[in-house]
Structures are given as structure tokens and as C-alpha cells.
């Protein structure tokens, strides 16, 4: 009976690993057939990636400014795993920002930093030697660089979730979002031309609320500190939200779904209004990068 059990379970495991599937035949022929146990319902939070934020900022006229990035030399100061996950998010944002602004040298530096940090965290997929080599081979092709980096983020996220490290996956997202917003807020100049960048940041209020839910959905040692800082940031964001904000609508236009809003044109955001957000973002970023 014992031998039979081993053979049976081995067979099941083998069958589960087979990716090719044929006709629907009930149970084991389906490669993604899973189980018959307790029912579940899952809720996910997707916040804009640093690459998306950098794209928005670039489109609004933001310029590349190297001095705001976290120096790659700082990497050696981080040793605790949760801190390393947050810093991986920060460096990942700096990598995304560099790549969107076509800064190949900085992209290579930050790709290598992400690889080294991933190795220290024991992440076997995503930012690895193979991806660094792919980036080197495609360094002249901006689209390829962006695609390689996005693919690295996705592989890393999959690896962390697959290996029951969802808290690290969340910390990477938190670190990346904060650094992405930090780069935008730090480079705003005191003139009207940066109004569009301010609006982009103001519009991240919804994604901040999703980030807070994501941060609170996991268990990690710095959770209460991060939750407190994000709550203060949410309060600062709330003060510059349009007072007449209402729900959006979805209209189908050909093959495209258009997300519209009944919200009226946004009001001017003054530097004074924006100061509190700037300060809060700096405070969170300083907490994250503190050794």
C-alpha cells in the first residue's frame, strides 16, 4: 500500500507538471486543474509601476536628474531581508526611470544593482545574470530595454509569490511606488509649467489607497511603521483632491473601452498645497533608505 501511494502521488505530480493538454476529460488531463477543497475568493491590488509613473512624468515634461536617484554604492549597507525588499523596489524604480529616459549607462548600473540585491535576497528569477546579459546585448534598443526590465519585474514577482514570499513582493511594490512618486515630487519647479506633473501626482490618490490596502494585507515587522507613514501621506493627498470628484463611466468606442469621468476640470494646485505631500514623501523615502 505504501509503495502504491508513492507511485500514485508521483504520477499525480508528474501529470500536474505536464503543460500540454488535450481534450477536456475531467480531472487530471487539465494542466491547471487544482483541487476540490475549501472555496476561496481573492482580492488583488495593482498600483502603477515605477515604469508607468516615469512614462507619465516624462510625457508631462519632467527632465532626467541623476542626483535624485539612490546611489548604487548604498546597496552594501542593507542586510535585513525586509529592508532589502523595500530597497529593491527603490532601485527598481531608479532603473525604470533611467530606462524610460533612455539613460543606458544608468540603466546598466541599476540593473546590476537589482541583480545583486535579488541574489542577496535569494530570488532565483527576474533580475539575474541572464537578464543583465540580455540588457547588454540590446543596450541600443530602447524598446527592448524596457521590455527586458518589465519582464524582470514580472518574473521576480512570480517567483516571490510562488515561493510564499508575498510580503517581499508587496514591499518591492511599496518601495517602487514611493521612489517613483519621490522622483516626480522632487523635480517639480516652482512655476506653472509643472502643473501637469502636480496633477499626475494628485491623481495617484486612488493608487495610494490601493497601496495602503496592499501594505496592510501582508504581515511583516515594519508594517505598523509603514502603515502610519502611508496614512499621513493619504491625509496630505486628501487635502488637494477635487471637492466634486464623482464616479467614472466606461464607454465602448470600437475595440477600445474609454474610461471617462464626470469630474469637472481640475483646479489649480499651488506650491503651498503641494508642500505637505512633498514633505511626507521625503519622510517615507528617508525612512526606507535609512541604513
Q: Does 252 bind other proteins (CB under 8 A)?
A: yes
Q: Does 151 bind other proteins (CB under 8 A)?
A: yes
DSSP string, 248-265: EEEEEETTEEEEEE-PPP
Stretch that binds other proteins, among 71-79, 114-122, 230-238, 249-257 (CB under 8 A): 249-257
Instruction: List the interface residues with other proteins, window 163-202 (CB under 8 A).
Output: 169, 173, 200
Nearer to other proteins, 36 or 63 (CB): 36
Here the cell at position 81 is 531581508
Q: Which of 140, 190, 191, 260 binds other proteins (CB under 8 A)?
A: 260
Stretch that binds other proteins, among 24-32, 71-79, 178-186, 226-234 (CB under 8 A): 24-32
Among residues 54, 56, 74, which one has the least CA distance to residue 64?
54
Min separation Cβ 163 and other proteins, Å: 9
Q: Taking CA 57 as the corner, what is the angle to CA 54 and CA 63, rounded to the nearest 5 degrees?
A: 95
Q: Which of 3, 36, 67, 244 binds other proteins (CB under 8 A)?
A: 36
Judge contact between 27 and 35, C-beta under 8 A.
no
Nearer to other proteins, 209 or 232 (CB): 209
Burial of 27 (0-12, 13-18, 19+ CB in 10 A): exposed
Nearer to other proteins, 77 or 102 (CB): 102
Between CA 104 and CA 155 the distance in angstroms is 22
Match 488531463 to its residue by C-alpha cell: 29
CB neighbours of residue 118 within 10 Å? 26
Nearer to other proteins, 126 or 280 (CB): 126
HSE-up (13 A, CA, CB side) for residue 43:
7
Nearer to other proteins, 210 or 287 (CB): 210
First to last CA, the chain: 56
Here the cell at position 27 is 480531472
Instruction: List the interface residues with other proteins, window 131-150 (CB under 8 A).
Output: 146-147, 150
What DSSP state is assigned to residue 41? -
Min separation Cβ 118 and other proteins, Å: 13
Nearer to other proteins, 6 or 137 (CB): 6
Here the cell at position 44 is 488583488
- Does residue 84 sit in helix, strand or coil? helix
DSSP string, 222-241: THHHHHHHHHHHHHHHHTTS
Q: Which of 263, 282, 283, 286 binds other proteins (CB under 8 A)?
A: 263
Q: Which of 31, 61, 122, 124 binds other proteins (CB under 8 A)?
A: 31
Min separation Cβ 162 and other proteins, Å: 5
Q: Does 248 bind other proteins (CB under 8 A)?
A: yes
Min separation Cβ 43 and other proteins, Å: 5
Total of chain residues touching other proteins, rule CB under 8 A: 72
What DSSP state is assigned to residue 273? H
Nearer to other proteins, 42 or 140 (CB): 42
Amino acid at each position: 500500500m505504501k509503495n502504491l501511494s508513492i507511485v500514485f502521488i508521483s504520477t499525480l505530480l508528474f501529470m500536474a507538471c505536464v503543460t500540454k493538454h488535450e481534450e477536456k476529460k475531467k480531472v487530471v488531463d487539465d494542466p491547471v486543474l487544482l483541487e476540490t477543497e475549501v472555496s476561496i475568493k481573492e482580492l488583488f491590488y495593482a498600483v502603477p509601476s515605477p515604469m508607468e509613473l516615469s512614462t507619465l512624468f516624462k510625457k508631462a515634461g519632467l527632465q532626467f536628474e541623476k542626483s535624485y536617484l539612490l546611489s548604487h554604492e548604498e546597496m552594501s549597507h542593507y542586510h535585513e531581508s525586509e529592508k532589502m525588499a523595500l530597497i529593491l523596489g527603490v532601485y527598481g524604480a531608479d532603473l525604470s526611470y533611467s530606462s524610460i529616459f533612455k539613460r543606458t549607462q544608468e540603466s546598466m548600473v541599476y540593473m546590476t544593482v537589482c541583480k545583486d540585491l535579488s541574489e542577496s535576497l535569494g530570488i532565483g528569477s527576474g533580475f539575474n545574470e541572464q537578464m543583465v546579459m540580455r540588457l547588454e546585448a540590446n543596450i541600443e534598443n530602447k524598446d527592448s530595454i524596457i521590455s527586458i526590465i518589465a519582464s524582470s519585474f514580472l518574473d521576480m514577482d512570480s517567483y516571490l509569490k510562488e515561493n510564499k514570499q508575498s510580503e517581499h513582493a508587496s514591499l518591492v511594490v511599496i518601495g517602487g511606488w514611493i521612489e517613483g512618486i519621490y522622483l516626480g515630487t522632487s523635480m517639480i519647479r516652482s512655476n506653472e509649467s509643472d502643473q501637469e506633473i502636480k496633477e499626475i501626482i494628485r491623481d495617484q490618490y486612488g493608487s495610494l489607497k490601493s497601496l495602503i490596502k496592499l501594505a496592510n494585507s501582508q504581515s511583516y515587522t515594519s508594517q505598523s511603521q509603514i502603515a502610519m507613514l502611508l496614512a499621513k501621506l493619504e491625509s496630505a493627498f486628501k487635502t488637494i483632491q477635487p471637492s466634486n470628484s464623482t464616479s467614472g463611466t466606461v464607454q465602448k468606442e470600437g475595440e477600445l473601452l474609454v474610461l471617462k469621468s464626470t469630474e469637472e476640470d481640475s483646479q489649480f494646485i499651488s506650491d503651498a498645497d503641494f508642500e505637505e505631500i512633498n514633505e511626507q514623501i521625503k519622510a517615507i523615502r528617508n525612512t526606507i533608505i535609512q541604513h
